[in-house]
Structure 1
Amino acid sequence: MLWLGMVLAISFLEAPLKFRAPGVTLALGLGIGRLVFRALNTVEAVLAVLLVLAAVIVGPGAATWAWLGVAAAVLGVQIVVVRPPLSRRSDRVLAGEELPRSHAHYWYIGLEVVKVVALVALAITAAP
């Protein structure tokens, strides 16, 4: 549930709201976002490893393993496949290039939705 709360708070609350704050430029918002999402993904990876270790010890049912696998796999795709192009794009924007809106953001958001569903299902299936 901690992992779920972090994803909901940062991805669906902080990320879109920071660009609406007075005085936050695109460059400033991107810089903050890069730091926040790097930290979030690092903590998510640690939590995923801890959950896998806990599951190995507890020995939950197949449904719990499946939802944990989905959440961890989605996180892996986000970190390895989606974030690198987003980082390259933000580097270009921070360097002064004007670029059209990125479709990679939509992939990241879609994967966040899948991860939220997986984490909710994981909490339900893992509950005693």
Structure 2
Amino acid sequence: MNPVAAAACFTWFGMVLAISFLEAPLKFRAPGVTVPIGLGIGRIVFRALNAAEIVLAIVVVVAVVLAGPHPVVLTSALIPVAVLAAQLGAVRPWLNRRSDRVLAGEELPRSRGHLAYVALEVVKVAALLWLGIQTV
């Protein structure tokens, strides 16, 4: 039982669900929201989400390590952290370069990079749910 790790996991889990799976797709359905406006909003929102995720990842890892974790729990804690690192280190830079081009007025086909980001979000959400259950 690790209440700090559990609270951080479920907070992180809820934030990702709310932003990635609710806010992000819905903003483009709002009247008057163009692709450039949606991208601009998305960059700000995801920058804030990712900053919060980094803090929560640190809290989770520290809480798990300080609790003298079972190896399975420690491995489970490293999965969402590794996914976040992949998103921030590989996918987000590619998406940022692409959105820079769109915001500069270039017309591009739909992005497949978002599919990679969403796939990683699904893995991260599943890992956070699993870890949260293990730490309750």
Per the TM alignment, residue 62 of structure 1 is displaced from its structure 2 partner at its CA by 1.9
Partner of 1:85: 94
Per the TM alignment, residue 77 of structure 1 is displaced from its structure 2 partner at its CA by 0.2
Identity %, equivalent residues = 61
* 1:97 and 2:106 correspond: yes
Partner of 1:16: 25
Amino acid at match of 1:59: G
Partner of 1:118: 127
Alpha-carbon distance between aligned partners in 1 of 2:111 and 2:51, rounded to the nearest angstrom: 23
State whether residues 16 and 125 of structure 2, in contact with CA within 8 Å, keep that contact through their aligned partners in structure 1: yes
Alpha-carbon distance between aligned partners in 2 of 1:32 and 1:87, rounded to the nearest angstrom: 13
Partner of 1:55: 64
Q: 2:118 aligns with which of 81, 85, 109?
A: 109
Per the TM alignment, residue 60 of structure 1 is displaced from its structure 2 partner at its CA by 2.3
Amino acid at match of 2:41: I
State whether residues 65 and 74 of structure 2, in contact with CA within 8 Å, keep that contact through their aligned partners in structure 1: no
Give aligned pairs, total.
127
Alpha-carbon distance between aligned partners in 2 of 1:124 and 1:80, rounded to the nearest angstrom: 28
Partner of 1:70: 79
TM-score, normalised to structure 1, is: 0.97
Partner of 1:46: 55
Per the TM alignment, residue 125 of structure 1 is displaced from its structure 2 partner at its CA by 1.2
Alpha-carbon distance between aligned partners in 2 of 1:18 and 1:63, rounded to the nearest angstrom: 38
Alpha-carbon distance between aligned partners in 2 of 1:114 and 1:120, rounded to the nearest angstrom: 10
TM-score, normalised to structure 2, is: 0.91
Point out 4+ residue stretches in structure 1 off by more than 3 angstroms.
none
Per the TM alignment, residue 10 of structure 1 is displaced from its structure 2 partner at its CA by 0.1
Amino acid at match of 1:109: V
State whether residues 83 and 123 of structure 2, in contact with CA within 8 Å, keep that contact through their aligned partners in structure 1: yes
C-alpha RMSD of the superposition? 0.7
The residue matched to 1:122 in structure 2 has which SS?
helix
Alpha-carbon distance between aligned partners in 1 of 2:76 and 2:110, rounded to the nearest angstrom: 32
